[in-house]
Structure 1
C-alpha cells in the first residue's frame, strides 16, 4: 500500500463514516495539510478552535529545522530509528515527498504551552543546568548549547531545538541512543554523548530542559560556532 493510500485510510475514515451516517457525500479537501492530519494528531495537535494541544510525550515538530525533520523521516524509513507507527507511515515515501513534509512543518510555527515545573531536587536541576549550559569537561560532554544554539531552539538547517520537548521524550531518546535503537549518520555524536552520561545525568538534563520557558521567538538560529565540539554526521562542518 502506498503512503498516500495509507494516509487516506488513516485521515479520511472518520469523515467518510460521518458522511455515510448523514447520507451525504464526504467533502474532504485534498490538501497537504489534510494529508498530514495523521502527523498533527500526535505532534502539536490543535483543537477545533486552532489552539495547540499539550503534548506529554510526542515531540513538537512545528518550527523545527527542515533539514532535521527530513533527516528523521529518512531515518525512520531506512531503519536508523525504530518506532513502528512512524516506519509504517513513511515506508514507501520518496525523498521528494519527505522534503515537502519537512518544509511544511518547518514553516508551521505554533505557540508553545507553558512548561511543567520540574519535580526534582534543586541539586538535580542544577546539574541539569550545568550540563545544558556548560557541559562536563571531565566526561568529555559538551554543553547542549554548543550545538543546539544559545536559546536551545536549534540551528538551521539540521540541528533540532531542545526547548519545549517533554521530559519523558528526552529521556527516551537518550535511552534509544544508548541501546542503539536510534542511530544517525556516522559519526553519531549523540550516541557518543549518551554513552558518556550516567542515568542520573540524563534525568537531570531532561528535567532542566523540559522545565525551561521557550523564547518568544523560537525560530532556529541561522548559525553556530564551527567546528562543533564533536563531529556529527547529521550536521557536518
Structure 2
C-alpha cells in the first residue's frame, strides 16, 4: 500500500506527516472515518482542489476506505509547534472559543466535538492540533464562505458562519501554538452529547443517542 499512495505523500509529506510549511495538512494518524469522508468529499465535489479531484475521480468507495485505513494506522511523532506571533488578547480569545465557545453567538466550544485534548474522536472527528495556523484559518474561511462543504447537516459550516474574521485568526493562532499531547491519539468516544446534528459523524453520543 505504501507504494500505491506515493501520489498522496508527494504533497502530504513522507508517510503523510505534512509538509514543513503546513499548506498540505498531516493525514498520518487521523481517524479513518474522517479521512474516508474527506476523500469522498473531494471526489464528489463537496471540497474543491483540482489535484485531489483528479486523483480520486475514478476511485471506488472501497479503495478510498483502504487509503483512509492505511494512513489512519500510521503512528508517527508530531513536530513541536512553530512559534506563533500574536497579541495576548487574540490568543486569549482563541483559547476561550476553543475551550468554552461563545454562547451569545451560538458558537459551541471546539472541545465539545473534537475532544477535550483536541486530538479528535474516533472514528470520524479529526484533531485540531499539529496543523499550521494558515491551514486552520483557510479551512474555517472556506466553510464560512461555502467553498468547503461536508455531509449534511454541515455543522462546521454552521459554526464557521458565526465566527468573525478576528475569531478565525484567534482560533487558528491559539491552536497552532499548542503541542500535540499523547501522540495525537483520538479519544474513543465523546465525553458529552454533541451540541448539534452533524452529518460527518455517524456514531452514538455519550448518552447512546445516534447523531
1:164 corresponding residue in structure 2: 130
TM-score, reference length from structure 1: 0.82
The structural deviation recorded for 1:41 is 2.0
Structure 1 unaligned regions, length at least 5:
1-31
1:131 aligns with 2:97: yes
Max radius of gyration: which structure?
Answer: 1
- Which residue is 1:205 aligned to? 171
Q: What is the CA–CA distance in structure 1 between the aligned matches of 2:19 and 2:200, rounded to whole Å?
A: 30
> What aligned pairs does 1:57-72 form with structure 2 within 5 A after superposition?
57-72=23-38
State how many pairs are aligned. 202
Judged with a 3 Å threshold, the aligned counterparts in structure 2 of structure 1 residues 157 and 106 are, in CA distance, closer, same or farther, namely same
Shift of 1:153: 0.7
Point out where structure 2 has 5 or more consecutive residues left out of the alignment.
203-210
Q: 1:73 deviation in Å?
A: 0.2
**Structure 1 residues 125, 147: CA separation in 2 closer, same or farther (over 3 Å shift)?**
same
Q: Distance in 2 between matches of 1:52 and 1:87?
A: 19
Q: Is the 8 A contact 2:12 2:18 kept in 1?
A: no
Q: 1:177 aligns with which of 143, 146, 150?
A: 143
Structure 2 partner of 1:37: 6
- Post-superposition, which runs of at least 4 consecutive aligned residues in structure 1 deviate over 4 A? none
Find the partner of 2:108 among 115, 132, 142.
142
**CA RMSD of the aligned region, Å?**
1.5
TM-score by length of 2: 0.92
